Amino acid sequence: VPTKVSENILTLNDVFISVKTTHIFHKTRLDVILNTWFRLARNQTYFFTDADDPKYNTISGGHLINTNCSSSHNRKALCCKMSVEFDSFIASNKKWFCHFDDDNYVNVPRLVQHLRRYNPLDDWYLGKPSIKKPLEIQDRDSKKKKVRFWFATGGAGFCISKALALKMVPIASEGRMISVGEKIRLPDDVTVGYIVEHILSKQLTVVLQFHSHLESMALLPNASLSEQISFSYSGNGSNRNVLSLKKSINKSLDPTRFYTLHCHLYPDLCKPNT
């Protein structure tokens, strides 16, 4: 019996979206997410934080997960969160694991559309590096050797297929990712790259439509915004790095520009009181 094409087409429900956050950012960073792109992926998006917060747990439909990781911004704490994100993805049994930071806007339909290009039963590590050359580090085991690998910047978001994630399980699951991060003494997103590229010998596939605030947001042309998968923002005052949109909501009401972006991408969804 031929399988119906619709049974093979990837849908949003096949994607596990994790957002890394910390309790001091719940108010300042989660509100805008919850009021914009989260509405397009309520059932698929989970927030990984470091404290209980009944208010935000309720608003997110019970999707705020206290990792019990330390709330300090150190390597171990961040790797700890990434490792809980990873374990939660594995438990979800979904086809794609997509990680984002809490200062990302995720263009959900574009993300799903883009993932349809790849078979989740093959090994895929999709994202965007923020450096021009592969990272080169000294091998901890044989001190003379150098190890070179690419990694996708966590702050731009990255996705890992189920097949690749299953290969990562013996190395990364149940907190083992923390030990790898401690061994190479590098941050969580670099640790993921090290596991995929160095330990498993799989390559990062560069997806230019992911964007972190290490890039200049204002350089993205308005006409191309709908094709992009992720966006970010940083800074305040005169050091701000934010999207530049022609028709914009009052900047003091929308300092991140994410409400403006959401209305630009989905005008029907952002009428008052919707």
Which residues of this chain interact with Mn ion, rule CB under 5 A? 103, 155
20 scored as a contact of ligand UDP (CB under 6 A): yes
Q: Say if strands 125-127 and 158-161 run parallel, antiparallel, or are unpaired.
A: antiparallel
103 scored as a contact of ligand UDP (CB under 6 A): yes
21 scored as a contact of ligand UDP (CB under 6 A): yes
Which of the following is catalytic: 101, 123, 189, 254?
Answer: 189
When CB distances are held under 5 to 8 angstroms depending on the partner's kind, the choice from ligand UDP, Mn ion, none that residue 260 binds is: none
Q: Which residues contact 19 (CB under 8 A, 6 or more apart)?
A: 33, 45, 46, 47, 48, 99, 100, 101, 102, 104
53 scored as a contact of ligand UDP (CB under 6 A): no
Compute the distance between CA of residue 151 and CA of residue 56 in angstroms, rounded to an integer: 31
Compute the distance between CA of residue 60 and CA of residue 26 in angstroms, rounded to an integer: 11
Cα atoms in the 13 Å half-sphere on the side-chain side of 235: 13
Compute the distance between CA of residue 265 and CA of residue 274 in angstroms, rounded to an integer: 15
User: Restricting to residues 188-227, which ones interact with ligand UDP according to CB under 6 A?
Assistant: none
Q: Which of 53, 85, 102, 123 binds ligand UDP (CB under 6 A)?
A: 102
Q: Which stretch binds ligand UDP (CB under 6 A): 10-18, 69-77, 171-179, 222-230?
A: 69-77
What burial letters (b/e) apply to 158-179, b meaning 16+ CB within 10 Å? bbbbbebbebbeeebbeebbbe
State which residue, 57 or 199, has the beta carbon closest to ligand UDP: 57
φ/ψ bin of 164: left (φ > 0), alpha (ψ from -120 to 50), beta (otherwise): alpha
State which residue, 123 or 188, has the beta carbon closest to ligand UDP: 188
26 scored as a contact of ligand UDP (CB under 6 A): no
Does residue 254 have an active-site annotation? no
State which residue, 130 or 173, has the beta carbon closest to Mn ion: 130
Interacting residue ranges for ligand UDP, rule: CB under 6 A: 20-22, 25, 71-73, 78, 81, 101-103, 155
